[in-house]
Amino acid sequence: MAARHVLTIDGPAASGKSSTAQWVARTLGWRHVDSGSLYRAATFARMQAPGAPETWTEGSVLSGAAGIGLAPVEGSFIPTLGGQPLGEEIRAPDVTAEVSRVARMSGVRQWVNRVVQQAAQGHDVVVDGRDMGTVVFPDASLKVWLVADPWERARRRLQQRLGRRPSDEEIAAETDELVQRDSRDATQTVQARDAVLIDTTYLTQPEQVERIAALARAVSAKR
């Protein structure tokens, strides 16, 4: 059997990594692993125990994370807590507000990286996050760095969340939130030197998926 292929998609907040990664994986028939969903699940799990976020220790986050698993769903995975699937609750604003705090804990990063590597083991995979192409899969066959203008990222995220066209005021407030989260995540967000930069500001989702799938096919054909 040919060597397995790993495609990493990293980039700033709400650049469309997860939805693109999932779609690309489906197009290629590969597996998808979303590392951000694990940071979100760990944050959500810690929120179920007492204590204000400022008092959270790495140990208390990791003990909450001990109840987290990954359940395979249609070529991808969803996090579970105590065996129950976690859905939209891990994308709620209160989780998003605290996730960077949890993502800065080195023990939590090691835990996520281990879970991601186990889920990817032995398969052709598309993995997405902030540091997949640098820390977790430095030898990936293809690395993509996905970016978009902050205003456009905010507009897309709101459209998805609200299911309607957001106002300029709403987009402005969301842009501010995204830019602040990018800044909080800056140390763990690392562009690999050998990553292909794709700016999706003026691309539709099918266009960006096709571009990345085409790159993946080109790389696979060489090996």
Task: Write out the residues near ligand CDP by the rule CB under 6 A.
Answer: 13-14, 17-18, 35-36, 39-40, 99-100, 103, 129-132, 181, 185, 188
Answer yes or no: are the C-beta atoms of 53 and 101 closer than 8 Å.
Answer: yes
Q: Smallest distance from the beta carbon of 76 to ligand CDP, in angstroms? A: 13
Q: Smallest distance from the beta carbon of 21 to ligand CDP, in angstroms? A: 10
What does the alpha-carbon distance between residue 211 and residue 199 come to, in Å, rounded to a whole number? 11
Which CB sits closer to ligand CDP, 205 or 214? Answer: 205
Q: Smallest distance from the beta carbon of 168 to ligand CDP, in angstroms? A: 21
Which CB sits closer to ligand CDP, 18 or 200? Answer: 18
Tokens 């807590």 sit on residue: 81
Which CB sits closer to ligand CDP, 203 or 220? Answer: 203
For residue 182, count other CB atoms closer than 10 A to its CB: 18
Q: Smallest distance from the beta carbon of 187 to ligand CDP, in angstroms? A: 9
99, with CB counted inside 10 A (0-12, 13-18, 19+), is buried
DSSP string over 33-53: EEHHHHHHHHHHHHHTSSS-G
What does the alpha-carbon distance between residue 197 and residue 199 come to, in Å, rounded to a whole number? 7
What does the alpha-carbon distance between residue 133 and residue 181 come to, in Å, rounded to a whole number? 20
Instruction: Tell me the residue length of the chain.
Output: 223
Which CB sits closer to ligand CDP, 10 or 124? Answer: 10
Q: Smallest distance from the beta carbon of 128 to ligand CDP, in angstroms? A: 7
Which CB sits closer to ligand CDP, 94 or 214? Answer: 94
Answer yes or no: are the C-beta atoms of 38 and 79 closer than 8 Å.
Answer: yes
Which CB sits closer to ligand CDP, 22 or 35? Answer: 35
Q: Smallest distance from the beta carbon of 49 to ligand CDP, in angstroms? A: 19
